[in-house]
Structures are given as C-alpha cells and as structure tokens.
Structure 1
Amino acid sequence: MAKDSSDPAEGNMFSAMLDAQARWTQMMLAPLATTGQRDADKGADDAPPALADLQKWAENATRLQSMWLEFCQTHAIEATSDMMAGDPAQWPAKWFAMFESWTQQLPFADPAEQQRWWAESAQLWQALMLPPGDQGGEAGATSPKLPREDRRFADPRWREQPVYALIHQTYLLLSERVEAMVEQLDNIDPAKREQLKFATQAMAEALSPANFPATNPIVLDRIMETRGDSLVKGMQNLLQDLQKGQLTHSDPQAFVVGENIATTPGKVIYETPLFQLIQYDPSTEKVLSVPLVIFPPWINRFYILDLNEKKSFVKWAVDQGLTVFMVSWKSADASMKDVVWDDYIAAQIEAIDHVRKRLRQPAVHTIGYCVAGTTLAATLAVMAAKGEADKVKSATFFTAQVDFDDAGDLLHFIDDQQLTTIKGLERDGYVDGRYMAATFNLLRGNDLIWNYVVRNYLLGEDHTAFDLLHWNGDVTNLPAKWHRNYLQDLYRDNLLVEPGRLEALGEAIDLTRVDVPTYIQAGKDDHIAPVTSVWKLTEHFTGPTRFVLAGSGHIAGVVNPPAAGKYQYWINEDERVGSLEEFRKGATEHPGSWWPDWIEWIRSHDDREIPARGKRKPGSGKTDTVIEPAPGRYVKTR
C-alpha cells in the first residue's frame, strides 16, 4: 500500500525528478553566474557581447534560485498541512508509490533475462558508437539506422549525436524488455498481469530521457539559445502548476465559460441543490413535439457538448428542430457529503418530469453520456419497475457502460489497494476533481502529462489556446460516498448487470426491464469505455437497439459535427446480429459524422412538429419565469 505522503522521508518520484532538475540547473548555471557577476561588477553599459551573455546567464541563474527558494519558503508550512489533508499536488506520490509496489513482482533477478539484456545492449552500443563504415553501412552515411522508433524522439537531434541516440535507444530497449517480462510472467491472475502492464508502462513513460533536461538535446539547445530564459519561463509554469495542484494544458486566460465557450443561447429554467436545468432557445420556426433531455457526466462540465458554434452538439440539435434541455450538475462540496446514486437517479427522473410538465408532453427523448449513461440505464430500470417507462420515448447512450467486466484501463485503479488510496484523498465529504483528472491523464501519460512537462517546464513554451484541453482541465468535485460506492459496486463487483443486486428509490434494478428504443454509440478507439464494454448494453436491454461504432475515442468520437467531415462510423442493419464480432463483419462504413443518422433515428420515433412558441421559447412570456441566462452558475462553480 502507498505510504502516507505526509511522511517527509517518503521517496516521491515526481518530487525527486523536480529536485534533480533544480539541482542540475543550479549546477549548470552557477559557474556562469559567478563569472558573469564578477565581470559585471567591473563593467560598463557598453559591455561586449560575451560579457552581456554572461550577465544574462547570471541574471537567470539568480532568478531561478530566488523563485525556487521563495516558493519553498512560502509553501513549506502549507505543504505539510496540505499533504495531511490530501493536497491534489501530491497525487503523483500516491500513484507512483502504488505503481512501484506493483512492479516489485517483476523477475529482475532472472540471470537468463539479464544476460539477454546485456547482449542486446552490447549490440546496440556497437551499432551506435562505431563509425558508419565499420558497421557495413553505406559510404558517406551520417548516422546509423536506428532499430527502434518512437515519436518522442522524432527530432533529428536525437539521432545526429551518438550519445543521445544511445540514451534513447537504450531506454526504448529496456522499456521493451520490461514489457516483455510482464507478458512472460507465469502463475499470475490475468487481471493482475494487465494491472502490472499498465504500471510498468506508466513508470517507463515517466522515466523517458525526454523528460529530463540533462538527457534531452532539444531542451539543452533551447537553454543555450535563450541563455537560460527558457528555464526561467519553465520554472514559472512549474510553480504556477504546483500552486494550483494541476498540470496546465491550455492557456487559462483564453476561454471564459459563457463568453467564448458554452455560448448557445438559453435560460436556466429550474434548479435544485444538485443540478440546474437549461433550456435552449429554438432556432427554427417549428420544433419536434418531443423534447430532448441531455444528462452529461457529473465528473466533467456539460459544455463538452457546447464548446463553440462549430463543434456544439447542442447548437446542432437545436438547429435540427429539437427543443433541447441540458442538466448542469453542481460540483460537489461539503453540503453533498451524503449524496448517493439514488440522488442522481432521482434527479434524472425529476428533470424528465419537469420537462414533461413544462411542455405538456407525455414523453421525452433522453441522452446519457458516460457515467450519466450508466445512471440513465438504472433510471430507466427504476421507472420500468414503477410502471413509468412510457415517460421516455427513446434513450441514447454516448460511450456508456452497464457491464464493467471489460471496462478498460480504469479497472487498474479499482482494487482494494487503490480504493484505500482514493478514500485517503477524501475530505469534507467530497473528492477533489483534480484527482480524477490526474487519473484520466495517466491513462494517456505521454500525451497528457509528459508531453506538457517537456513543453511547459523544460522548454518554457507558452500555453496554447485549445478549447478541448481547457474543458479537460476544468474539473468538478465528486461526492465521496457515492464515488466510492460507484467504484466498488459497478467497476469492481459489476453488480448492475445482476438483476436485483442493486436498488434505488426503493426499487430493485433489473436492466432486462428496459425496453425503450435505444441508440448506442461507441468509440472505436475509446480507452475509457471500450467498444467491447459498450456493446454489452445490447445484451442486457430487451427493447429495440441501434448500435453505432464511431471513429476515434471517448470525446472526438462523440463531438464530431458533420461540417468537420472527419472520421467515419459503422452500422450493421441486420437485426439478427448477436455479437460485436458479427456486427463488425457485416457493418457498412459511412464517412463523416454519425449525428445525421441519429437525428433520422430520433425522427423515426415521432416526427410531429409544432410551432416554436410559448414555453418552447424560455423566458419569452410574462408568466414564464426563468432563473438566469445559460450556461448558469453551477457550471462556473469550482
């Protein structure tokens, strides 16, 4: 089990890496700083270029030392108390300690394996360090062909200098051999093997030579080119992230919710302590009589479906003539310490009933995204048990799971050890959303962690403006009790698919009672809700289903507007298909977005239209009281 991160003697890989970088920087710049300061003391305003360079190095060395010392002094007391309270800045210590405990199972002492490593290392050394002519290569060759390729080392500087070629090729060799060792482990539970594979991959990604300034030629060149300015900017970026306890992916000043993201016009027409309900203004003269209620995941902000006009699913749906309602969940705080799954299920039913009553409609279309889709499945089962299934005309599921037997990489975090770790992160009845963001980032460590460590900290680059990454970092807090139960009951124990094992609002949950028409979308490359897992919805519901496999993953597979002309989707029209393998064999590929297929499916269930007037235009009448303009307060609450 991970050690208490409040122990000052604990080995923290992330902190050790930062400390090593700070020490290396100080060691590298100190001589130059001393020389520069000595010469500057003699100097004149018209110092020669060499002296000006030394003065620049001295200035930057002094700035780096001052920034680091000031940060350490300012936060020394805070850090101790924060670690005791579960400060999000300490998540790497907990995760890496957990990974290290997993990797202790590897047979590093196997003599035969060690001999193979030495032999391959010797061959690699010989290939990289001997002159091209001695290797039997072509005359005039500038560098040998490298046996392993990786996009982290695509820059020519990793190949042009033998020492850096040797460093990164040795790293790739060792990473490859360690992964092979995991595959070869005998007498180990398959789930544990997958967990160990994930852990070794995460550790290998963290230890890449690209992540350390002394072994990254691009970083060294940037330092020399800028005379240390890049290190100063990188240190500023690092300290800012340490203060907020979260890695920054996008320019934090580039986007403002309600101003240049989440801008589709609408009004908040209802709210509870758990959610606000937004109704969007119609953009067509007539609208479909059956409204649409969207339930986004409460682990993220709803505006992933309303990033901007070109990407917005909300705006597109409104333009198709749908009256769209969006649930905006409140980010958890201490007042929500007793919130459990029943509350989210009750909230979905409350939203459905409010929309039905407001528009005087007998039923609504619904969408559930990710965990809100899992909850929507339970909601439909509860409504069926209550005899209220006819309140929902159709249900659409975006990358949602109900059967967690094959739930992907997140299963690596759902055993007793990890659950104990997560429980230790709770405070005041909720889990800080930065922990969840860190976990999802770890699932794609190279892309979402180490790429930005290099860019932001080592190269000192400015943050770019990217709306999707801004949303990704705009985290929400989670009710601790429900989050823990969700991981245990669904991910670990997979109870949702066992009729009667779970209950909500006094009703046993039985998914086989869900017989409303369902549209099920999965992402081909989804690592959070794998297609093999999403497919299983078709095996538990008893009503008519339409399964659509979309190109890309958990986000881009969903947010793919037709105008973008990106990706593709697959549909198998044979209603007798009984397995995902059969679906794939007989599926037809269609270019572009699956959204037009979905709206056609929606219209097939009820295409009646009515004028867009009265309460179809929120706040337009004297008697239609609204709370505030969209996107509302809850989405802005931290």
Structure 2
Amino acid sequence: MADTTEGAGSAGASGNGFDPARVEPFLVKNPEQFALNLAHMVEEAGKAAAAWSGPRERGEIAPSTASPMADMVRTFSKLTEYWLSEPQRAFEAQTRLFAGFMSVWGAAAQKLHQPATPTPVQPQRGDKRFQDEDWSRHAFFDFLKQVYLVASNWAEDLVDKADGLDPLTRQKARFYVKQVTQAVSPSNFVLTNPELFRETVATNGENLVRGMRMLAEDIAAGRGELKLRQSDASRFRIGDNIATTEGGVVARNDLVEVIQYAPATEKVLKRPLLIVPPWINKYYILDLNPQKSFIRWAVEQGHTVFVLSWVNPDERHAQAGWEDYIRDGIRFGLDVVEQATGEREVNAIGYCVGGTLLAAALALEGQTNSRRIQSATFFTAQVDFTHAGDLKVFVDEEQMEAIETAMNAKGFLDGSKMASAFNMLRAGDLIWPYVVNNYLRGKEPQPFDLLYWNSDSTRMTAANHAFYLRNCYLENNLSRGEMILEGKRLSLADITVPIYNLATREDHIAPARSVFEGSRFFGGPVKFVLAASGHIAGVVNPPSANKYQFWSGGKVESTLETWLDQATATPGSWWPHWHAWVAAQDPNTVDARKLGASMAVLIPAPGTYVHLQA
C-alpha cells in the first residue's frame, strides 16, 4: 500500500495520470451503513420540519409581515432595472461575467498539465471558508471555488457600478448581495465542500444524522423559529461562573433592578459610577468572568459601581417607552445611588443603545438647573444616525409599519428577531460557520462566554422599540434637535458635561465614523477615543489580556481618517486611559462604601431580572 501511494503521489504531482489517493477519501466504504444513516437523517429532518410547522399550524406563530425578503426583492428589482434599462450596459455586464468564467475554465484546463498554474481569483484575506487543502489541491473543488468567487465578485461589482442608485438603495443592495452570496457559497453544502464530503464518507453519514437532530432541537428551543446555537450553553450558569462580581440588588421596580457592587479598596472615588447598559441583550457583557469583567476591574480601581439590570419585558410592558426608561431606569438609578451613598453627583456610562438613552436623558437634564451626572462616558453609542451602518437596511417606512403591526399584536418584539438582525450583519462569522459545524458536521459548538451572552436575547417593548427605530434610524431626530420627550424638544448642545466617547474600529453596529460624527453635536468637551476590534471585543478588552490597541488625539475635526492620521496609538487596553480621564474629573476620595450599609440588599447579584428568558 505504501508503494502504491507513493507512486500515485508522484503521478499526481507531475500532473500526468490518475491519483487514486486524492479520490479515495471521497468514496463510500460501507454502502449499507451509509444508506441506513441517510434514512435516519431523513427521519430527523422530518422532526425538524414538524418542530417548525407545528407552532404555525396551532396559530402560535402568525405569518410575518416584517420579513426582509420583500424588501430584498424590491431592492434587487431596482438594481436589475438599472442594468437592463440600457442594452449596451447589460451586455457589458454579461461579458464581464462570461470572461471571468472563461478565465477559470482556461486555468483549470491548464492545471491538468501544469499544476503550478496560478488561479485567476483568490479569496479575500481572512476568508476562512476555503482553508482546507483540497480547495486548491483537488481540481473539482478548486474549480467550484473559482466559479463562486468570480460570480460573487461580479455581483458585488453590479452594485458598486450602478450609478443610478440612491445611497440607501445601494446600501441595501450591497447588504443583500452579500447575504445571498454568503448563503450559496459551496462551503455551505456537503457535496461541494471537500472537508464536509470527506467527513460524511468517513462517518458513513452519521454527522448528518447528528446535525439534523441538532436542527430539530434548535427549532424546538426557538418554539418554531431556528435558535442557532453558537456556544455550548450547558457550560455556563449566570451567577455561578458568569456574572460573578460580588454585589447585590439594592432596589427594584417593574423596569430595572439596581445592582451595587462591594468595594475592593479601602478608599473610593467620591463620585459613584452608574452604568446604563443596553436593554438589547443583558448587562453582564460587562461582567462575563473575573478576567474579562469591566465591572470588577472598575471596582478594583476604586469606583463605587452601580449597574441597571433591565427587565426582560413582556406584554405587560407594551407601553413602556423612552420616557419610562429614563424615568424608571436612569433617574431611578440616580435616586438609588444618592440614597446608597449620599452623593448626588455621579459619573455615568452608557453602552450602545444605553448610551443613546443616556444622551437623551442628559439633554433633558441640560434644560434644568439640576445636573446630577457630572461626566458621561459612551461605549460604542450613536447619537447621530447618518452613517449608522447596515442596520439601516431593516428600517424604512414600509418595514417600520410592518414591525409596528407585529409588535402591537404582542406588545413586544421577540428577542430572536433582533438577534437574527445582528447575526446577519456578520453572517460570515455568526451564521454560516455554525450552520456548517452544527447541522452538517453534527458537532456541538465550543463553549464561549461572549457568544453565550450573545444568544441570551431579550425582548423589546413595542413603545420603546418603535420610538427608537423611528426617532433614531428612520428620522435621525436626536442629532437634528427634533426628538421630543416629556414635551420638550431635545438638543445635544445642552449637554455640556465632559464626555469620553469610545468607538471601535471594526464596529458593525455603531460604526466608528458614526460615533465620531456624533461627537460634534455635544455642547461640552469631548474626548474621542478609537479602540481596535469590534462592538464587543473592542470594549471588553481588559489590560491583563494585553491585546489590541487604541488611538487618542485632539478635537473632533475634519474626518475620522484625518483624526486617525494625527492620533497617538497606544498598545493594549483603553481601560486605564479611561480611568485616568474619569478620575481627573473629580479626584477626591472617601472611605469605601460597604454594600448594604445604607440600603438593604434585596438579593445577591446578579439579581432576578437577568435570569428572565425571552
């Protein structure tokens, strides 16, 4: 056998002759067992279909009127109309595609005799789909890869070269083309992915049986909708090995629990720190584990930390809007901080949409004589939505009406809807690798605390989410000075407290350019800082990890690119930089405030609201 393999390898390497060693891994060894497993796969697939159709037949899931499919069809119709409106333009587009295919065909034919022939097109740097050696070594799979890359690049060019599209339609077309091309990648199918093909043959199809069983379980877990598992949830327990910083719930209402954390230093900063997390997902992204916890780290730096833990709303909260979230969330939290510490003035942090809400609350506060928040820090938070990124794809008047109709019927938006939208922003990282791993390879995902948090979705109240989408994404009222809360027209210029405005360079939810441009609207001094990585990893970056870098510099002027060219790059985490900034706002210290000294602890952290499932 060794001699045969060596001889075959020599023939294959020269390009002259048949190499059985390359074909052998793709041949079924046990047809009987393979056929039996295929039958089991079909049986499990039937269970998955039943899990999907059952809730719809029972009326538990109403037909969706808010599907992006209709909008995608409308967008592609506009794109097609542009290319077909002029015959010469359509002919040139078809010629480019045909030329690309011919170059692939020619290179494939030449490789039969000259294996070193370069391929016409290569995957983009960082594309992990085609890393298996057979994508390049095996002529069939190499040809499939090349044809796919030519077609997907051509489709993207159709959008980029369509001069007649308005900016929003172009953005939508680019987004939808990317979704489609990622979905039809040959890496997503057993027969066109060499790694999947070999694994299916090696296990006689057992991987497909396991995969279909997992698919049925995930649809059942989503009560008729696919709840894609991205992490091994069995390895995490909130309050046990995640969200473990010592603290306690010291106050609660129908909307939030306020958690105070136990001190870790003898002296603490005089001003307490109130954190306003997003209500999309849960607060413990800032307390994943002792090594990654921003909350624990802030306590260790001498901050008296309070966090709002939002309720996971249901139909009872349908009418809770932004005024309620400010009154019963932020202002309630400020009152609790004052009662627990005796301090009226605080430093505040707002993360993502929690930061947008905090900005609105500050604008309201700026119209009064009372200024309780003396400094504000924003983590990847937008106040201007002109450059808000691909989430704008899901928000136009027609889609808004459909979303509002669906929310009003229940009183809330299902958490799975927002989770799906966020996953679609990075489908190549957050959807298709898990579809392949889970349902085609039949393997459980690895335990990953960040992705466990990502899948722990929350609902959004109908009033809150409708106000947010309309006033921010659709109409951009906050930065335009047109947002009205409590009967007052808000102006970001009324916010004159010092601001630390953090963006992350690869953010797909709050793009760095959007956060940068938003800095211009505040009425006080703004320290803009840009961290490496994305919306989560760029924020949750403890100094001990010694990862990434951040940029800090002068005033927000000109463009983000110009600012970045002149900024100072610092290796590692931005956390110490922020602490030095916020401590300088008021460096006075007092004796550490013991947990429970002024307010009784209702229940140990992380409380009860964080356990409520969507």
TM-score by length of 2: 0.89
SS for the counterpart of 1:153 is: coil
Rounded Cα–Cα distance in structure 1 between residues aligned with 2:92 and 2:566:
47
Rounded Cα–Cα distance in structure 1 between residues aligned with 2:378 and 2:193:
44
SS for the counterpart of 1:469 is: helix
Amino acid of the structure 2 residue aligned with 1:625: A
Which of 620, 626, 629 lines up with 2:601 in the alignment?
626
Amino acid of the structure 2 residue aligned with 1:353: D
Which of 416, 423, 431 lines up with 1:449 in the alignment?
431
| Contact 2:232–2:445 under 8 Å retained in 1 | yes
Deviations 1:574-618 (A, max 9, x none): 458565344223211111011101111111111222222xxx222
Deviations 1:496-539 (A, max 9, x none): 1223x222223321111110111111101112111111113321
Amino acid of the structure 2 residue aligned with 1:378: A
SS for the counterpart of 2:584 is: helix
Q: How does 1:62-77 map to 2 (within 5 A)?
A: 62-73=39-50, 76-77=53-54
| Contact 1:143–1:160 under 8 Å retained in 2 | no
Following TM superposition, by how much is the alpha carbon of 1:401 offset from its aligned partner in structure 2, in angstroms? 0.8
Following TM superposition, by how much is the alpha carbon of 1:96 offset from its aligned partner in structure 2, in angstroms? 3.7
Report the equivalent of 1:95.
68
SS for the counterpart of 2:129 is: helix
| Contact 2:273–2:305 under 8 Å retained in 1 | yes
Deviations 1:43-69 (A, max 9, x none): xxxxxxx7xx45533442332232233
Matched, 1:595 2:582: no
What is the aligned length?
Answer: 570
Amino acid of the structure 1 residue aligned with 2:331: I
Matched, 1:147 2:98: no
SS for the counterpart of 1:85 is: coil
| Contact 1:128–1:144 under 8 Å retained in 2 | no
Which of 564, 572, 591 lines up with 1:611 in the alignment?
591
Deviations 1:310-368 (A, max 9, x none): 10000000000110001000111000110111111112122112212321113011000
The CA RMSD measured in Å over matched residues stands at: 2.1
| Contact 1:143–1:159 under 8 Å retained in 2 | no
Report the equivalent of 2:356.
374
Matched, 1:271 2:257: no
SS for the counterpart of 2:271 is: coil
Rounded Cα–Cα distance in structure 1 between residues aligned with 2:410 and 2:531:
40
SS for the counterpart of 2:210 is: helix
Report the equivalent of 1:224.
201
SS for the counterpart of 1:553 is: coil
Report the equivalent of 1:19.
none
Following TM superposition, by how much is the alpha carbon of 1:370 offset from its aligned partner in structure 2, in angstroms? 0.6
Moved segments of 4+, more than 6 Å: none
Rounded Cα–Cα distance in structure 1 between residues aligned with 2:366 and 2:200:
65
Q: How does 1:218-297 map to 2 (within 5 A)?
A: 218-243=195-220, 244=222, 245=225, 246-297=227-278
Rounded Cα–Cα distance in structure 1 between residues aligned with 2:96 and 2:35:
48
Give the share of equivalent positions with the same residue, in percent.
40
SS for the counterpart of 1:462 is: coil
Rounded Cα–Cα distance in structure 2 between residues aligned with 1:610 and 1:505:
36
Amino acid of the structure 2 residue aligned with 1:444: R
SS for the counterpart of 2:537 is: coil
Rounded Cα–Cα distance in structure 2 between residues aligned with 1:226 and 1:548:
51
Once structures 1 and 2 are overlaid, which stretch shifts more, 445-454 or 347-356? 347-356
Report the equivalent of 1:213.
190
| Contact 1:547–1:571 under 8 Å retained in 2 | yes
TM-score by length of 1: 0.86
| Contact 2:48–2:219 under 8 Å retained in 1 | no
Report the equivalent of 2:21.
none
Rounded Cα–Cα distance in structure 1 between residues aligned with 2:53 and 2:364:
51
Report the equivalent of 2:377.
396
The 1:431/1:171 distance shift into structure 2, 3 A limit, reads same
The 1:556/1:267 distance shift into structure 2, 3 A limit, reads same
Which of 104, 128, 153 lines up with 1:124 in the alignment?
104
Q: How does 1:523-534 map to 2 (within 5 A)?
A: 523-534=504-515
Following TM superposition, by how much is the alpha carbon of 1:162 offset from its aligned partner in structure 2, in angstroms? 1.7
Rounded Cα–Cα distance in structure 2 between residues aligned with 1:212 and 1:417:
34
Which of 93, 98, 106 lines up with 2:79 in the alignment?
106
The 1:455/1:504 distance shift into structure 2, 3 A limit, reads same
Uncovered stretches (5+) of structure 2, i.e. residues with no partner = 1-27, 85-89
Amino acid of the structure 1 residue aligned with 2:297: W
SS for the counterpart of 2:478 is: coil
Q: How does 1:303-342 map to 2 (within 5 A)?
A: 303-342=284-323
The 1:450/1:82 distance shift into structure 2, 3 A limit, reads farther
Report the equivalent of 1:471.
453
Rounded Cα–Cα distance in structure 1 between residues aligned with 2:242 and 2:521:
37
Which of 554, 566, 569 lines up with 2:547 in the alignment?
566
| Contact 1:331–1:477 under 8 Å retained in 2 | yes
Report the equivalent of 2:8.
none
Deviations 1:432-484 (A, max 9, x none): 01100100100011111111111111111122100000011100000112212
| Contact 1:132–1:143 under 8 Å retained in 2 | no
Once structures 1 and 2 are overlaid, which stretch shifts more, 144-153 or 423-432? 144-153
Following TM superposition, by how much is the alpha carbon of 1:71 offset from its aligned partner in structure 2, in angstroms? 4.2
Report the equivalent of 2:159.
182
The 1:163/1:273 distance shift into structure 2, 3 A limit, reads same
Q: How does 1:501-512 map to 2 (within 5 A)?
A: 501-512=482-493
The 1:116/1:83 distance shift into structure 2, 3 A limit, reads farther
The 1:98/1:240 distance shift into structure 2, 3 A limit, reads farther
SS for the counterpart of 2:265 is: coil
Rounded Cα–Cα distance in structure 1 between residues aligned with 2:78 and 2:152:
16
Once structures 1 and 2 are overlaid, which stretch shifts more, 106-115 or 513-522? 106-115
Uncovered stretches (5+) of structure 1, i.e. residues with no partner = 1-31, 33-49
